[in-house]
Amino acid sequence: MQPTILPTRPAPKLPKCNSGTVDTALLIEEFKRIYSRDRVPVQVDFRKLVSWLKVGDQLTHQIHPYPAKLLPHIAHFFVHCNMHGGEKYVLDPFCGSGTVALEASLAGHNALVADANPLAILLTRVKTTPYNLEQLREATKRIVERAARLRTAPEILVVNSEKWYAQDVKRRLEILLRSIKEYDDAEIKEFFLVCFSATARKVSRIDPAIAVPVMLRTKDAFSEQQNLRILERLAWVEAARPLDEFFRICHANISRVEAANKVNPGRKVVNVVSNDARSLSSDKIPPAGVPLVITSPPYGTAQKYVRSSSLSLNWLELVPPHRLAEFEGHSIGREHSPAYRNEISAQALPSAYESLLVEVSRTNILRAHITRQYLLELKVALKEMHSKCAPGGRIVIVIGNNEVCGHTLFTNEYISQAMEDLGCQDELVLVDQIKSRGLLTKRNKTASVIAKEFIMVFKKAK
């Protein structure tokens, strides 16, 4: 891979948009000029580049934990590029927890999304909804008071529930969930289901520092002080009062909604166009296409996306425990290779990737099979988003490369070639170091740490 370089000139002064926010178009044009001259990725730090956006608890971005979240600064940078006139649509076919959708909505655009994970769709819808704050506060009071009076509730099937919860804690969670489900406003109910999901994770025995469910436990390798903190948390979990934690999370999330409302009280709720990036609904997409696509596809073999959200999927009865494996089998970037997808592996990849998979198969045939399926299915999704992009529109793809059995999977180059084959112009490539633990964590013994990601901008031919 070619080395990266820093921009050779200071960033130009950024003009303001009509909304009062910064217009990044001038800076993007400067980066494009540097890239077209040198044809190597331009190294940036989006946290510094978008310095007016605070790092940390930003508006409704943090209403619920989710693995491998896209840095909001990246989405913000591109949705505030004031290059297109008229009503703007922004499409994210791998929306995850809704980072792109929220930034697009706050910027006054129409956010269109797809995702295979129903939890992702729920979070994205709640994040982009400009709720009435007084209604949320009143509903919180009603739900909590009713939950305090209830004594029974239907059992909710949760995978390995006895491992994650004390018996009384799970019973109290079920009573709380009953109170939420019996609330009569469907839109507001979604807000509280998200708060409940966050609560269910908070009062579990799961290690809060790891995205996938892993038991929190002391280790000889930890310091005495660290082990003491773990023991204190485990003691708190055993005696946890879910209703108290739910009340606290609700009010914290109401404050986040309030902050988002101040930025744009008239923002539009996201429009879901599909549950599969490989098949986007034309009925919900403008006939002329979408002028801007921003997305971060799954990182091949590096993230256990379904497992990380399995508790929430079970608690909210979006996917029951016995269907989790089947559900994962339909997603791109999965950890397993279901037999009914084997026909995909008959298709050929570019020669460099065929050679890579030959090397991988010498160590792990299954991992080679999974990687082939990932690349081929990703190509189908790229073709679909290209078809929904307007002529002359931009497609921004954020991706990181990881290792498979000691061999680097250059997903960025694979995407670049696929987009070129579709007739897109390679306008800009930026590279940023990943600082989020959500992506730095190694997900399986044949994968590797992902330390940087590529932000690639393609222009569709007119």
Residue-level length of the chain: 462
The answer on pLDDT for 233 being more than 60 is: yes
Q: Are 313 and 348 in contact (CB under 8 A)?
A: no
User: Quick one: 293 and 151 in the same domain?
Assistant: no
Query: Computed from CA positions of residues 425, 429, 434, 435, in that sequence, does the dihedral angle turn out positive or negative?
Result: negative
> What residues contact 219, with CB distance under 8 A and at least 6 apart?
227
The three state secondary structure string of 314-343 is HHCCCCCHHHHHHHHHCCCCCCCCCHHHHH
Same domain, 413 and 431: yes
348 Cβ neighbours under 8 A, 6+ residues apart: 354
Asked if 278 and 377 touch (Cβ cutoff 8 Å), the reply is yes
If asked whether residues 427 and 295 sit together in one domain, one would say yes
Judge whether 125 lies within some domain: no
Res. 119: pLDDT tops 50? yes
| Confidence grade of residue 3 (pLDDT, cut at 50, 70, 90) | very low
Torsion sign (Cα): 444, 449, 453, 454: negative
- Whether 362 is covered by a domain: the verdict is no
At 389-440, the pLDDT tens digits run 999 999 999 999 888 888 999 999 999 999 999 999 999 999 998 765 444 3
For residue 28, is pLDDT > 70?
yes
Output the pLDDT for position 8.
40
Q: What is the mean pLDDT of the chain?
A: 87
CA distance 427 to 225: 51
**Judgement on whether residues 295 and 389 belong to the same structural domain of the protein:** yes
Q: Is residue 368 part of a domain?
A: no
State the average pLDDT over residues 42-65. Answer: 86
* Domain shared by 138 and 188, yes or no: yes
Paired with 215 in beta bridges are 206
Is pLDDT at 341 greater than 70 in this prediction?
A: no
Name the pLDDT band for 333 (thresholds 50, 70, 90): low
- Domain range for 110 is 25-116+269-303+375-459
Q: Are residues 183 and 250 in the same domain?
A: yes
What tens digit of pLDDT does each residue of 166-201 get? Answer: 999 999 999 999 999 999 999 999 999 999 999 999
Considering only 219-228, 299-308, 418-427, which range has the smallest mean pLDDT? Answer: 299-308
- Residue 95 clears pLDDT 80, i.e. is over it: yes
pLDDT value at residue 213: 87
- In this structure, the answer to whether residues 176 and 56 fall within a common structural domain is no
Structural domains of the chain, count:
2
In a domain, 319, yes or no: no
Residue 170 lies in a domain: yes
Any idea what the CATH number is for the domain that residue 81 is in? Answer: 3.40.50.150
Q: Are residues 171 and 257 in the same domain?
A: yes
pLDDT at 48 over 60: yes
Please indicate, yes or no, whether residues 39 and 177 belong to a single structural domain of this protein. Answer: no
Q: Which residue has the higher pLDDT, 450 or 454?
A: 454
Amino acid at 345: S
Mean pLDDT of 304-331: 87
**pLDDT given at position 403:** 86
Any domain includes 20: no
What is the pLDDT, as a whole number, of residue 44? Answer: 92
Instruction: Give the model's confidence band at 343: pLDDT under 50 very low, under 70 low, under 90 confident, else very high.
Output: low
Whether residues 156 and 192 share a domain: the answer is yes
User: Does 30 fall in a domain?
Assistant: yes
CA distance 73 to 52: 9
Q: What local confidence, expressed as pLDDT, does residue 338 receive? A: 54
What's the pLDDT at 440?
39
